[in-house]
Amino acid sequence: MTALRFDNLEQYSDVLRSRRGDAVAVRFVEPRDAEELQNYFRSLSTRSRYNRFLGAMSELPQVLLDRFTHVGPDAGFTVIATMHVDGFETIVGEARYAFHPDSGSFEFGLSIDDRWHGHGICAALLKNLECRAAAFGATSLFGDTLRSNAAMISLARKSGFVFGNNRDDWKLVRFEKPIAVAPKDIPCASWRIAAASRQLQMAAPAH
């Protein structure tokens, strides 16, 4: 796993662009974001929450909210996508991911505020996740979604993912994409730096 400096998570922030050019900041969630993140999930439509959590859920249970708001390899990683709306930093999307070093796979799930669907934010966030996967040294990127989630299936297909069955749940479809990006070619600058740091760490002689 690539080494992350948890004392300076800002160095892993990225700025993406919506379809019309609006700045979308992507950063690791922090404990101070707990209330706003919970409000974000509450504000999603019933269908969007169902698609995100693969079942009915009105809000995150406290245990799950705590997991979402603490960054660490054991619990996975959560990022939020924010925009300045009426002068305030507003969460417009989120993603949670985990790297599985035993298989070299990078698993993720994401959601976008219903009011911001159609602005290209989901596609931009997905591309950013590919950068993060490459920096971890992942060989593949995958997610699961409901067979009824036509929007996510369409986006994944356009993004080059291939589809297969989820062996544990017939209601789900798995989409997967190979990662074949050299560290020096990772398009996200912060994750290109993280990948370079990882290579240096791996090459350092043991003491």
Q: Is residue 27 part of a domain?
A: yes
Contacts 24+ apart (CB under 8 A), 66-72: 66/34, 68/29, 68/37, 68/96, 69/29, 69/30, 69/31, 69/33, 69/34, 69/37, 70/31, 71/4, 71/6, 71/9, 71/28, 71/29, 71/30, 72/6
Residue-wise pLDDT tens digits, 103-125 = 999 999 999 999 999 999 999 99
What total of structural domains would you count in the chain? 1
pTM of the model: 0.89
Q: Is residue 1 part of a domain?
A: no
Q: Is residue 29 part of a domain?
A: yes
Domain region containing 39: 9-201
Compute the average pLDDT of residues 46-55.
95
We report the CATH number of the domain holding residue 136 as 3.40.630.30
Residue-wise pLDDT tens digits, 66-79 = 999 987 666 689 99
Q: Is residue 4 part of a domain?
A: no
Quote the CA–CA distance of 34 and 40 in Å, as a whole number: 10
Quick one: pLDDT at residue 123?
96
